[in-house]
Each structure stands twice: as C-alpha cells, then as structure tokens.
Chain A
Amino acid sequence: MSDVADAEGIALKREHPARATLRRLFRHRLFVTGLFLFAIVAGIGIAAPWITTVDPQRLSMRNKFLPPGEAWVFGTDNFGRSLWARVVWGAQLSMIIGASVVALNAVFGTLIGAAAGYFRKLDNALMRVNDALMAFPAILLAIAVTSVLGPSTLNVILALSIVYIPRTARIVRSSVIVLREMEYVQAAVAAGAGHWRILRHHILPNAMAPMIVQLSFLFAYAVLSEATLSFLGVGAVPPTPTWGNIMAEGRDFMREAPWIITIPGVALMITVMGLNLLGDGLRDVLDPRLRIQQ
C-alpha cells in the first residue's frame, strides 16, 4: 500500500502516561511543598509511639503551665500533661480520622456517584437523597449525627462520612455523565461490552482524576471538621488527645499559657495548608481541561 501512515510520526521517546503524570507532579512546586508539609504531619502521627516518652494523658499537677523549653519541648498544659505528647498523638488521631473518611468516601462516593451517573433510572432517586443531605450546612449535620450517636472517635468518622459522601458522589456522578457519552464508551457498547466492563475499563479509570483531587481536599476538611467537633465537645471524648480537645481546654488559659491553644492551631494550619497545596497541584496536573491549555 502506498499510503501507509508515516511511522516517523510516532514519537520515539515513549513514556507510560502514569509515569508522565508523576513526573509532572513532582515538577509542580505547589504540589511538592504541599506533599512535604503533609508528609511531616503524617510522619509524626505514624511515629507517635517512638517519638514521645510520656503518656499524653498522664497528669502531673506539679508541672502545670510550664512554657516550651528544653525540658518540655512544647511546654505543659493546665494538668501538667506534655503538650508535645498530646499534639503528636493528636496528629495520629487526625490522620486516622482523615484517612478513614477519605477511604469511606472513595468507596461509597464512587459507588453511589457511578450508579447515579451511569444508570439513568437510579439517578433521580439517589440524587434527591443526596440533595437532602447536602441541604444542611456540613458542620451542623455532623453535630446532629454525633449528638445522636454519642461522642466517640468512630462516631466522628461516621458523621463526617455521612456529611461528605453526598458531595463526593455528586462529583463522581458529574464526571460519569460526561464519560458515559464519550465515543469510546459507545464503541465498547457497539462491541458488545456489558455494564460492568464499561464501568471498570472505560468510565471509572477516567473518573479517578477529579475524584483524587476532591479526596485530597476532603482530607483537609475532615481534619478541620474533627477539630471543630472536638472543640465544640461533640467529638472524641476528653481526655483523648485531639487537636480540637487541646484547643478547647487551652481556650480558658489563653492569657497565662498561650502555647496550649497556639501549637495545635499551628499544627492544624500546617496540615490543612499542606493538603490544599497538594490538592491544587493534583488539580493542575490531573484535570484534563487545564492540561490542554499547557
């Protein structure tokens, strides 16, 4: 045949798309900064048993209100507990809650969103329930759920999942609705592919990018909401060391011992900022609409 495609037209240098995405991510300054900040907090949380020497709940009235210094890195609180130990263990709890909420959202948000987006018949029913849940302000709904279930770490995870899964589902649904009409999906239908194959090979892999971006922001929301709930006294029960609990207790001693409320506040800020930068970076790299403009 005289008109075979010019083989030279295919790039010689080749790279797997996933690899190319990773390379672009690690060249993205905001992403790397965010990842670094988040990695510090997560690393501290994971290493909590090894980097703290005292029990975060051990009282020692003799040592109360000691300012940060050589003996007590972050000082002590109104009961003489090591603030370092409490903030470090608080980081662990924040990571556990954030990761659990993200995991539950990834599973159930995808399931509900994909079902609503792909099967037109389910769409109306699922989305009206979703809308009803989304009609409440997030934090009020979380407070309502924890007051019914009772304050505990597990219930905080459940409450935050109930609050955020509808939001994740809506994002997944909107990508699925767009992808469902793509011609490569039509081609798979024309080839005789079943629903499961189409969802697994053609729709979900392409819906992942916006969901990953959403989940990174969700991690930040979850950490922040957990702190809010604890601060309001409807989260994990004191004396469990969570950043919200520490800040709630430190609030009364803001003048005498400002470090009690400041240090967990800064930790919270670093975590949320890191996650937001991370999410912005992911969005820049993964969102195809932005990629075209590059």
Chain B
Amino acid sequence: MKLLEVRDLTTAFMTGRGEVNAIEEVSFSLEEGQILGIVGESGSGKSVTALTVMGLLPRPPARIAAGQVLFGGRDLTKLSEREMQAVRGPGISMIFQEPMTSLNPVFSIGDQIMETIAAHERLPQAELRRRAIAMLDKVGIPSAARRLDDYPHQMSGGQRQRVMIAMALACNPKLLIADEPTTALDVTIQAQILDLLMDLRDEFGMGIVIITHNMGVIAETADRVMVMYAGRVIEEAPVATIFDRPLHPYTRGLLECVPSLTEDRARLVAIPGTLPEPARRPPGCRFAPRCLHAEPACGTAIPLLETLEPAHSAACFRARELASP
C-alpha cells in the first residue's frame, strides 16, 4: 500500500527574472515503514520538494504549476490551508535542520509538545503532560519528567533535535519528513540521532523521507534513494543498487568525490564546474555541461526518468550504453 505518491510535481517561484521552476516533474512514492532518502546538492530542489508536499511554501511567490501529491487517498495540492493543517501532525510532520530556530525560545519544551498534541486531540491537561513526558522519554531525553519545564536554551543542540523529533511524532504521524536533520550536529551526535530515527521507525512503523546532501547519511538509513540535480530527479533505486551500480554519471561522480575513511587515494575524482543557479540552468540535460560523457544530444533535449532495470530508473540518454562494460 502506497503511503505517499508524488506525481509529476512542478513547483515554480516568481523571481525578479520571471518565473523559475524550482523542481520539475518530480515523481516518487513511499510505502509504510519505508525510509526514502532524497540526496542532492544546493539548488537540487530537495527541500522545495519536501516543503511542497507539506504545503509550507508561501504562495505567492511559490506556485504548484503541475502535478499531484497523493496522501491517504487525497491530493494534498488541492486542499485548503485549513484542511492542510489537519493533515500536518497526525498525517505528515516534519523536522528541520536548525533545532535552534525551530523551537520557540519563550515557551518550555513541554508546553510546545503539549500544544502540538492539543491542536489535534482534546485531552485533559494531566493526560497531555503524561503524553509529552512519554514522548520525551521515547526520544531519549534522560529524566524526561524533570526536563519538561526546561526552555530550549537550557538544552544542547542534540537534545533540541530530540525535542523536535518528539514534537513531530507527538501525534503519531504516518509520514515523517526530515530535512537535513543532522547537518547542524556534530558527528557523534549525528550518529545518535540517526539511530534514534531508525529505532522510532521500527517502533511506530511510519514512513520517513530523509533529505540530505550526505551520501553517508543515505548509506546509514535509506531503503530507497532518489538523487536530484538542478530541480529534477536523475536516478532512483534501492540503496544497495545506488551504491553498487549507479547508472547516472552524476550519481557516480557524487559517490566517487567523497574521500574514503579507510583507503588512500592520491587524488579525488572531482566533478568539474559549478552547480547551476535555478535561473541559469542549461537547456537539455542539466548535468551536461559538467558531464564527461556528454554528447551533443544531451545539450538539446531533457532526458526523462526511465526504468532501466527492475526498481531502478535513471534520466540519462547514455545510461544503458555506459552501464554495459
């Protein structure tokens, strides 16, 4: 059963230079209990994809130009803001990169968690409090009952991210979107938070979308992976396949340019050139100007996502040819 299905989603932004598509024809789906990793660099559109699904982009300047977001039998792009509010929380919830600014500094963390629950369920105060303590306990805050009345500034960055996760899970969402959840954290804390997300997935069975620029985070957590570049999905496959047999030259480049923790390499394999700004994307394949395998055709037409192997699709004219040895 599909938990979330996104079809041909195109989100445009009004800018000083006219309308620019932040993401184009993005399609993907997610099963219950599955973790989908969306990986991409700056300007890839990975965060815009998440915010469009959540209905959190300010409109205008943003506009959903085409496509559907199907969740629980409804197209979320057609819902009013009020209807969308009922979906956020018990349906889909989200955690962000910056746990410092995502919490309100003037309310205690307990108040913020209880408020989230109270927005969707009518419960007596004592019950709200009990639920908030249980949630803090679940996300690994020690002596949760005592910390409930603490304020965000009294907690460390890692603890604040745990509180954010507690808030996001307070209404038992079916889908959790985590946008760069560990980017602002130190590596030992990152490992703790990733473990926590996996544990909670096992316990509650919700689907998770993890958005990251870090292939390591993908390797640690994802079941399926979707690679984005300059607003388009360029490859999608199960996680082991992406790492073992990447089909798109960009995915291959992304894997090769990360230095190894165990092997010596004389030189890194860098991808030449610069990421295109959304308003200055090249015609044709967005990656063509940086691609070592580009042909003249790549500069004129946009390659579409094509299923090349079972459960493995890529958007590259030469993928088949380059994959064969």
Contacts and interface: CB of A to CB of B under 8 A. Distances in A.
Interface of A: 2-6, 8-9, 294
B289 interface: yes
Contact of B274 (A2, A9, A294): A9
A9 B270 CA distance: 16
B273 A5 contact: yes
A3 B270 contact: yes
B274 A5 contact: yes
B18 interface: no
Contacts of A3: 270, 272
A3 B269 CA distance: 9
17 contacts: A2-B270, A2-B272, A3-B270, A3-B272, A4-B272, A5-B273, A5-B274, A6-B272, A6-B273, A6-B274, A6-B289, A6-B290, A8-B273, A8-B289, A9-B273, A9-B274, A294-B16
> Chain B contact residues (Cβ within 8 angstroms of A): what range?
under 10
Interface in B262-300: 270, 272-274, 289-290
Nearest to A9: B274
A6 B288 CA distance: 13
The 10 nearest A-B residue pairs measured at CB: A6-B273, A9-B274, A3-B270, A6-B274, A3-B272, A6-B272, A8-B289, A9-B273, A5-B274, A2-B272
Contacts, number: 17
B282 to A, nearest CB: 9
Chain B interface mostly: loop
Contacts of A5: 273-274
Contacts of A2: 270, 272
Nearest to B282: A8
A2 B269 CA distance: 10
Contacts of A4: 272
B307 to A, nearest CB: 32
Given A3-B270, A6-B272, A8-B289, 13 more contacts: A2-B270, A3-B272, A4-B272, A5-B273, A5-B274, A6-B273, A6-B274, A6-B289, A6-B290, A8-B273, A9-B273, A9-B274, A294-B16
A4 B272 CA distance: 7
A175 B253 CA distance: 43
Contacts of B270: 2-3
Contacts of A9: 273-274
A143 B270 CA distance: 69
B284 to A, nearest CB: 14
A9 B290 CA distance: 11
Contacts of B274: 5-6, 9
A294 B17 CA distance: 11
A6 B290 CA distance: 8
A2 B270 CA distance: 9
Contacts of B272: 2-4, 6
A55 B18 CA distance: 57
Contacts of A8: 273, 289
Among A5, A8, A294, max chain B CB count under 10 A is at A8
A9 B282 CA distance: 11
A211 B270 CA distance: 44
A2 B267 CA distance: 12
Contacts of B16: 294
A174 to B, nearest CB: 22
Nearest to A8: B289
Nearest to B271: A3
A227 B270 CA distance: 67
Nearest to B268: A3
A5 B275 CA distance: 11
Contacts of B273: 5-6, 8-9
Nearest to A294: B16
Contacts of B289: 6, 8
A173 to B, nearest CB: 26
A5 to B, nearest CB: 7
A2 B274 CA distance: 14
A6 B276 CA distance: 11
A2 B273 CA distance: 10
A8 B299 CA distance: 15
B108 to A, nearest CB: 30
Nearest to A4: B272
A57 to B, nearest CB: 54
Interface string B170-181: 000000000000
A9 B289 CA distance: 10
